[in-house]
Amino acid sequence: MLLENYKQQFIEFMVHCGVLTFGDFMTKSGRKTPYFINTGNYRTGSQMEKLGGFYAEAIRSHFADGFDVLFGPAYKGIPLCVCAATALYRKFGQDVSFCFNRKEAKDHGEGGSLVGAKLADGQRVLIVEDVTTAGTSIRETVPILRGAANVRLAGLIVSVDRMEKGPSGVAALTGVAREFDMPAKAIVTIDEVVGYLYGRGINGVVVVDEPMKNRIDAYRAEYGA
């Protein structure tokens, strides 16, 4: 599997940061999974700078200039949209607006639930998220956006597509894309992750050896879309 250089770097970056781990885990939906992605483990300025660069590369690859505003759903989406906007300007000279929501609307000062750029009718909004398993956060986000202005949904970008069946029986990203009539993309897919890491040493450790690969294959056979 030949991957773009930024995808290879991103996969290794997730392992180095302890964001992508392999073992025994339970997903929010109750599935026992041999791998887990926790973007909450990004915790330094240098990591966020690099992470923003990977998002920027993927955004340029999939969406180019087909959007006006980046939106980060609270809470994990907030630093993601900020670092992506920063990296788009730093790497590509593309200066885009960003905004995010509060979990609870502010009842003083300027009020409202949105922070950052003021959304306007007709603007194309690209949602920046970490990982989408069932699409729940997107279904909560879209009414917030449409309640602020008559915006257009430019799409959704996440870090990893787990490629698992959602409630509708299709992949979560595919279901979200169909439901809201917008493209939904990822920096990398789980197949790309596993294909790249299988048998490869990262800091002298092979995180996806044959037994782990077999476990992942069994999990994907049961839950994969």
CA angle 32, 34, 38 (to 5 degrees): 90
Active-site annotation holds for 108: yes
Q: Which of 32, 106, 165, 185 is catalytic?
A: 106
Q: Rounded to the nearest 10 degrees, how much is the dihedral formed by the CA atoms of 162, 134, 175, 38? A: -30
Q: Which of 108, 165, 185, 213 is catalytic?
A: 108
In whole angstroms, how large is the CA radius of gyration of the chain? 18
- The residue to which tokens 């989408």 are assigned: 132
* β-strand pairing of 112-116 with 97-106: antiparallel
Active-site annotation holds for 7: no
Burial of 102 (0-12, 13-18, 19+ CB in 10 A): middle
The C-alpha atoms of residue 159 and residue 171 are separated, in whole angstroms, by: 15
Q: Which residues are catalytic?
A: 106, 108
